[in-house]
Amino acid sequence: MPSSPATVSGAVFDIKRFALHDGPGIRTTVFLKGCPLSCMWCHNPESQATRPEILFSADRCTGCGACISACPQAAIFIAHAVAQTDRDRCGGCGQCVSVCPSHARTLLGKTMGVQEVVSEIESDIVFFDESGGGVTLSGGEPLFQPEFATALLSACQHLRIHTALDTCGFAPWEHLSQVARVSDLVLYDLKHIDIPQHVRWTRQSSDIILDNLVRLDALKKRLWIRIPFIPGFNDDLQSWHALAAFVAQLRCVEAIHLLPYHRAGEGKWRQLERLPEAVFCEPEKEAINAAVALMRETTGCPVHVGG
Ligand code: SF4
Ligand code: SF4
C-alpha cells in the first residue's frame, strides 16, 4: 500500500523559484538528488549521487582547521595549506559547514517531506496563475525517487498547480507511468539513438529510454523533447538524422528544445573535487543552426534553442 503523501520524504538539492526554462510560464523547479546516468558533460554533477555532498571552494579556504575539529568522521585533513575531504569517509552530516569562518563549505542535498516542499512552493501560486506556469520536478533524475515524486506532484495538482516532470527516461516503466500520471507535461531528455555511443558517454543504454518515450507517446502524454547538443558526442549529422527520424514518429511532441553545451557546470566538478572524464567545447553557432533546421524539417515541430 502506498505511503500517505504527508509521510513521504525525499532527497532534494535545490528549489529554484522564478525559473523560465523548465516548462511554460514562471515555474518553481524542485531538483531531486540521484541519477542513474553519468553523462560526461553533466551540468549538475552535484545531482548524480543520492547522498548529501560537500561543495568546497578551495580559493576561500585559509587552512584554519576549524572543520577538522568539527568532523565526527575524521574525514578532513590539511594538504597544500587547504582542507581536503576524504569523500569515502564523509557521512554528509554538514557539521563542518557552519564552523567554517570563510564559507568555503556548502552541504548539498537534504531530506525534505512533501508538505515541507509544498509550503515553499505555495507562495508562488500567484505567479503561476498569472504566467501559466507551475512546478517542475527535475534533478538528478526524479524517477530515482518515484514515491516522493508521485506524492509531491500529486499534492501540487491537488492545489491546482500545473505540474511538469523533467526526466532522462532511464527508469522502469512502472515508475515513469506512475509519475507521468500526475504530470501535466513531460520534458523528456533524448541524447543519442545509438546504443554503444549512449553507453560510452552516459554509462547506460538508450534502449529503455527510447522504449519508454514511445510508450509515453502512446498514452497521449504532452511532450517536450530536450536534446543536449554536445560537440564530440552527438553534433554530427548522422546522429541528428537518427534523432530527428525517431522524434518524427511520435505524435504528442509539442516542442523540441536543443540545449547547446555550455561551460557553466565546470566549476562544480572542481567544488566536488572530482575530474570530469572528458573535456568539451561549446558548439559553433553554424552547427547549432544546421541541427535546428534538420530537426524542424524532419519533424515539423517547433524547435527552440535553450530552455
Ligand atoms: S559533512 Fe560531516 S562527515 Fe562530511 S566532512 Fe563535513 S563534518 Fe565530516
Ligand atoms: S574551516 Fe573552512 S577555512 Fe578553515 S580549513 Fe576548513 S574549509 Fe578551510
pLDDT of residue 241: 97
Q: Which residues of 3-26 are buried (b: 16+ CB within 10 A; e: fewer)?
A: eebeebbbbbbbeeeebeebbbbb
Q: pLDDT tens digit string along 67-114? A: 999 999 999 999 999 999 999 999 999 999 999 999 999 999 999 999
Expressed in angstroms and rounded, the spacing between residue 43 Cα and the centre of ligand 1 is 24
| Region 194-223 average pLDDT | 97
Expressed in angstroms and rounded, the spacing between residue 233 Cα and the centre of ligand 2 is 39
Residue 150 corresponds to which cell in the numbers above?
508521485
Pocket of ligand 2 (CB under 6 A): 61-67, 83, 99-100, 102, 104-105
Report the nearest atom of ligand 1 relative to the CA of 85: 5
Expressed in angstroms and rounded, the spacing between residue 188 Cα and the centre of ligand 1 is 35
Q: pLDDT tens digit string along 149-175? A: 999 999 999 999 999 999 999 999 999
CA-CA distance, 205 to 94, in Å (whole number)?
35
Expressed in angstroms and rounded, the spacing between residue 97 Cα and the centre of ligand 1 is 8
Measured by CA distance, the residue closest to atom 4 of ligand 2 is 64
Q: pLDDT tens digit string along 235-284? A: 999 999 999 999 999 999 999 999 999 988 888 899 999 888 888 999 99
Residues in the chain: 307
Q: pLDDT tens digit string along 111-150? A: 999 999 999 999 999 999 999 999 999 999 999 999 999 9
CA-CA distance, 43 to 1, in Å (whole number)?
37
Q: How far is CA 190 from the centre of its chain?
A: 13
Ligand nearest to the CA of 70: 1
Query: pTM surpassing 0.85?
Result: yes
Expressed in angstroms and rounded, the spacing between residue 105 Cα and the centre of ligand 1 is 10
Expressed in angstroms and rounded, the spacing between residue 86 Cα and the centre of ligand 2 is 14
Measured by CA distance, the residue closest to atom 4 of ligand 1 is 90
Half-sphere exposure at residue 194, Cβ-oriented, CA atoms within 13 angstroms: 12
CATH numbers and ranges of domains, the chain = 5-49+110-305 (3.20.20.70), 53-108 (3.30.70.20)
Report the nearest atom of ligand 2 relative to the CA of 76: 6
Pocket test for ligand 1, best of 68, 73, 271 (most atoms within 8 A of CB): 73
Q: How confident is the model at residue 39 (pLDDT cuts 50, 70, 90)?
A: very high
For residues 289, 295, 296, 301, the Cα torsion angle rounded to the nearest 10 degrees is: -130
Measured by CA distance, the residue closest to atom 2 of ligand 2 is 100
